[in-house]
Amino acid sequence: MPDCAPPIFSDQFRNDLFALFKWRRDVRRFRRDPLRADTRDELIATANLAPSVGLSEPWRFVVVDDPVRRSAIRDCFEACNADALRAQDESRASLYARLKLAGLDEAPCQLAVFADRGTQKGHGLGRATMPETVEYSAVLAIHTLWLAARARGIGLGWVSILDPQRVAEILEVPADWTFVAYLCLGYPSEESDVPALVREGWETRDAVTLLHR
């Protein structure tokens, strides 16, 4: 039997939830205002409510405050971004070069997220046939944190143009932790409910792909 009755969500709540989904943007431009440590810790605690395979809770958050490590992460981004620019088609190269793809200089809070493949929590349930569900679980924790941040007016940017091995070396994490994401958090300097890559003309939204079998 449940410990308590489940909540009944109103139409207003559902409308607000949809607005939260719509306004959850990948933020690249931040104000310099600091993010309180207790606010950051509350967001991480909320992320811990995310679903995980076998209740393994395999996500591992690394708070990156050290200026030397932050500088090394930025150098890693610059090197990877230069490689990505060289790989672009000629028609896309100039647009790619103009895109704002990281908020590493402005974001007051930076987190690296790893998935712990070595965790024994959950006793391996659900992982035998799909071990990658450990990383999927970490992504669900990131999305939970993302929504919780947006609900507080805090923006999040996911920086993926990084070398995972180099990031692990910079942050000196255990060998069985797999790098999943590098997150920039702070208060946005601009707001929009339209993805930045749509506004910049890089990509467009597609309709949902739905198959019936």
The sheet with strand 109-116 has its strands ordered as 59-63, 109-116, 177-186, 155-159
Q: What is the mean pLDDT of the chain?
A: 95
> Other C-beta atoms within 10 Å of 48: how many?
13
Could you read off the pLDDT of 157-194 as tens digits, one per residue? 999 999 999 999 999 999 999 999 999 999 999 989 99
Task: Write the pLDDT tens digit of every residue in 25-75.
Answer: 999 999 989 999 999 999 999 999 999 999 999 999 999 999 999 999 999
How many CB atoms neighbour CB 74 within 10 A? 16
Answer for the pair 132, 212: CB distance below 8 angstroms, yes or no: no
Rounded to a whole number of angstroms, the CA Rg of the chain reads 19
Tokens standing for 66?
């050290």
Q: With bands split at pLDDT 50, 70 and 90, how would you rate the model's confidence at 1?
A: low
CATH class of 26-187: alpha beta
Residue pair 89/33 in contact by the 8 Å Cβ criterion: no
Question: Do residues 162 and 73 make contact, with C-beta atoms less than 8 angstroms apart?
Answer: yes
SS3 letters for the chain?
CCCCCCCCCCHHHHHHHHHHHHHCCECCCECCCCCCHHHHHHHHHHHCCCCCHHHCCCEEEEECCCHHHHHHHHHHHHHHHHHHHHCCCHHHHHHHHHCCCCCCCCCCEEEEEEEECCCCCCCCCCCCCCCCHHHHHHHHHHHHHHHHHHHCCCEEEEECCCCHHHHHHHHCCCCCEEEEEEEEEECECCCCCCCHHHHCCCCCCCCCCCCCC
Query: Please, what is the angle between helix 67-86 and helix 164-171, to 10°?
Result: 170
Per-residue pLDDT at 167 = 98
Kindly indicate the confidence band of residue 91, based on its pLDDT and cuts at 50, 70 and 90.
confident
**Does the pLDDT value for residue 2 go beyond 70?**
no
% of the chain with per-residue pLDDT over 70? 99
Domain ranges of the chain: 26-187
> For residue 26, what pLDDT is reported?
94
